[in-house]
Structure 1
Amino acid sequence: MTGVKMNDHLTSFYKINQSVERLLKSKHHSSEVKQSAINLRKSMQPCLAELRQSAAKIKDLLKAGFDDLDHAEDVWHSKPKIARVATDEIWQQLEQLRKEHCGIRLLGSQCKREAVKQAQACWKQILEPIEAKWFLGKGSQAQTIVGKDNKNNFTMEIRTVVASQFQEIIKIIKKSLNIVYKKLAHLHLDYVFQYVIFLDKRARDQTRTRINLILNEINAKFRSLILHSPCQSRNLLEFNNPFKPAVQFLLNPNYNDIDWQNFCRFKKEVYAKMIEVINTIIEDRINLAIKSIEQVILFYTDFLERQYRYQQETPQQRNAEKAWIDQQRQQLERVFSSIDAILAAPGF
Structure 2
Amino acid sequence: MDDHFKIFQNINQSVEQLLTNKHNSSEIKQSAISLNKSVQPCLEELKQSAARLKMLLQSSLNDLDHAEDVWYSKQKIATIATDEIWKKLDNLRNNHFKIRFLGSQCKREVIQKAQASWKEVLERIQRKWFRNTGEQQQKIIGKDNKNIFLQEIRTVVSYQSQELIQIIKKSLNTMYQEITNLHLENIFQYISFLDKKSKNEARIKINLMLNEIQASFSSLIVHSSCKSRSLLEFEHPFRAACRYLLNHNCNDIDWNQFALFKKEVYTKIIEIVNTVMDDRVNFAIKSIGQTIAFYTDFLERQYRYQQETPQQREAEKAWIDQQRKQLKQVYTSIEAILDPTNGSLSVS
Instruction: Classify the TM-score, shorter chain.
Output: over 0.9
Residue 156 (structure 2) aligned to one of 161, 179, 191: 161
Structure-2 separation of matches of 1:149 and 1:309: 81
Name the structure 2 match of 1:333.
328
Correspondence 1:205 to 2:200:
yes
Name the structure 2 match of 1:3.
none
Deviation of 1:278 (Å): 0.8
**SS at structure 2 position matched to 1:226:** coil
Deviation of 1:62 (Å): 2.1
- Provide Cα deviations, 1:198-248, integer angstroms capped at 9, x if missing partner: 112221121111111111111111011111111221111113342112224
**SS at structure 2 position matched to 1:156:** helix
- Provide Cα deviations, 1:72-125, integer angstroms capped at 9, x if missing partner: 111111222111111111111111211222222222122222221222111111
Structure-1 separation of matches of 2:301 and 2:253: 70
Paired letter, 2:315: A
Name the structure 2 match of 1:117.
112
8 Å CA contact 2:57, 2:327 repeated in 1:
yes
Deviation of 1:254 (Å): 4.2
Deviation of 1:141 (Å): 4.3
- Provide Cα deviations, 1:23-64, integer angstroms capped at 9, x if missing partner: 445567654443333222111112111211111222222222
Name the structure 1 match of 2:65.
70
Residue 185 (structure 1) aligned to one of 180, 188, 193: 180
**SS at structure 1 position matched to 2:305:** helix
Unpaired segments of 5 or more residues in structure 2?
A: none
Structure-2 separation of matches of 1:141 and 1:90: 70
Correspondence 1:96 to 2:91:
yes
Name the structure 1 match of 2:260.
265
Paired letter, 1:104: I
Q: Which range moved further: 140-149 or 74-83?
A: 140-149
CA RMSD of aligned residues (A): 1.9
Paired letter, 1:142: Q
Unpaired segments of 5 or more residues in structure 1?
A: 1-5
8 Å CA contact 2:139, 2:252 repeated in 1:
no
Paired letter, 1:201: K
Q: Which range moved further: 244-253 or 286-295?
A: 244-253
Q: Which range moved further: 289-298 or 12-21?
A: 12-21
Correspondence 1:231 to 2:231:
no
Q: Pick the structure with more helix per residue.
A: 1
8 Å CA contact 2:15, 2:36 repeated in 1:
yes
8 Å CA contact 2:161, 2:236 repeated in 1:
no
Structure-1 separation of matches of 2:193 and 2:17: 65
Structure-2 separation of matches of 1:300 and 1:240: 45
- Percent identity (aligned): 63
Say how many residue pairs are matched: 343
8 Å CA contact 2:140, 2:146 repeated in 1:
no
Structure-2 separation of matches of 1:274 and 1:97: 32
Q: Which aligned pairs between 1:118-133 and structure 2 lie closer than 5 A? A: 118-133=113-128
Structure 2 CA distance for partners of 1:78 and 1:333, relative to 1, 3 Å? same
8 Å CA contact 1:235, 1:241 repeated in 2:
no
Paired letter, 2:191: V
Structure-2 separation of matches of 1:184 and 1:154: 45
8 Å CA contact 1:135, 1:146 repeated in 2:
no
Correspondence 1:220 to 2:215:
yes
Structure-1 separation of matches of 2:304 and 2:214: 36
Structure 2 CA distance for partners of 1:338 and 1:140, relative to 1, 3 Å? farther
Residue 237 (structure 2) aligned to one of 229, 238, 242: 242
Structure 2 CA distance for partners of 1:95 and 1:112, relative to 1, 3 Å? same
